[in-house]
């Protein structure tokens, strides 16, 4: 919270109105003196402002969820059964879809749990949605992953390696992809680039319709998990298994 916001919060807590310009210096001095003597007032004002901000955020998230829920039935096929996407454990009964960026810190944090989930829970069908939002290098990584899927290479291994590389540079992307058997020249061919770019654009459009405006974003059945929330993800999967 910046100084202007803190000052405004203090004024609100004190119930003070704005002063005339000629009295501003004296007014500021009095407010500062009061706050120095009663710091608990400032803390209460800040807490109150934070509570309001959190309430507004929760309201916005609820609105996003409502819009996404309404749109979900018509978008289910694109979300879970786009043949261009890589799917781990394709025979699983519970489907999880992740929207992610290889350079997103929260995606990086949850990636080991995603890989472990795929390897230890064959009943979870996991759909990967490339959603690069951190610029050209992220888009390059997404295209390399799409090439791995198209060429039948180790997609999950590539996902894990990209998430583990810090920093993930364009050169490192090509090096990791080549080590996983991806034909880099074929990946960079104009036709392959056009198809990959179209897939990335379609994923971005789908995410927008589902009110997923950041990464990571997970969808499990009818449940949306926005952000790095492994507990929420596990709970949604458990609920899906129970329902199934």
Distance, in Å, from the CA atom of 109 to the CA atom of 7, rounded to the nearest integer, reads: 36
Instruction: Give me the chain's average pLDDT, please.
Output: 89
pLDDT in tens, 131-181: 999 999 999 999 999 999 999 999 999 999 999 999 999 999 999 999 999
- Tell me the mean pLDDT in the region 180-186: 98
Q: In this structure, how many other beta carbons lie within 10 angstroms of the beta carbon of residue 9? A: 22
Pairing outcome for strands 87-88 and 223-226: unpaired
Distance, in Å, from the CA atom of 9 to the CA atom of 14, rounded to the nearest integer, reads: 9
Confidence category of residue 183, pLDDT binned at 50, 70, 90: very high
Pick 81-243's CATH classification: 3.40.50.300, 3.10.20.30, 3.40.30.10, 3.30.450.20: 3.40.30.10
Answer whether residue 10 shows pLDDT above 80: no
The domain spans of the chain are: 3-57, 81-243
Confidence category of residue 29, pLDDT binned at 50, 70, 90: confident
Q: What is the pLDDT of residue 18?
A: 45
Answer whether residue 231 shows pLDDT above 50: yes
216, 227 contact by CB (below 8 A): yes
C-alpha 66, offset from chain centre: 18
Answer whether residue 187 shows pLDDT above 60: yes
96, 233 contact by CB (below 8 A): yes
Confidence category of residue 26, pLDDT binned at 50, 70, 90: confident
Confidence category of residue 17, pLDDT binned at 50, 70, 90: very low
Q: What is the pLDDT of residue 161?
A: 98
pLDDT in tens, 73-106: 999 999 999 999 999 999 999 999 999 999 999 9
């Amino acid at each position: 919270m910046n100084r202007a916001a803190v000052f405004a919060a203090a004024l609100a807590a004190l119930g003070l109105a704005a002063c005339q310009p000629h009295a501003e210096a004296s007014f500021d001095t009095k407010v500062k003196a009061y706050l120095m003597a009663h710091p608990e007032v400032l803390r209460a004002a800040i807490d109150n402002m934070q509570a309001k901000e959190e309430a507004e955020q929760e309201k916005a998230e609820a609105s996003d969820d409502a819009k996404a829920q309404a749109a979900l039935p018509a978008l289910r096929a694109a979300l879970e059964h786009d043949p261009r996407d890589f799917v781990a454990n394709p025979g699983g009964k519970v489907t999880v879809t992740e929207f992610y960026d290889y350079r997103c810190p929260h995606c990086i944090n949850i990636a080991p749990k995603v890989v472990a989930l795929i390897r230890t829970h064959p009943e979870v069908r996991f759909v990967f949605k490339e959603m690069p939002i951190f610029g050209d290098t992220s888009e390059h990584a997404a295209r390399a992953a799409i090439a791995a899927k198209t060429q039948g290479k180790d997609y999950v291994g590539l996902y894990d390696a990209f998430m583990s590389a810090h920093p993930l540079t364009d050169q490192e992307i090509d090096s990791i992809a080549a080590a996983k058997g991806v034909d880099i020249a074929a990946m960079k061919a104009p036709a392959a680039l056009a198809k990959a770019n179209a897939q990335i654009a379609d994923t971005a459009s789908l995410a927008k319709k589902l009110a997923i405006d950041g990464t990571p974003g997970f969808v499990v059945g009818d449940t949306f998990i926005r952000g790095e929330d492994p507990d929420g993800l596990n709970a949604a999967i458990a609920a899906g298994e129970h329902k199934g």
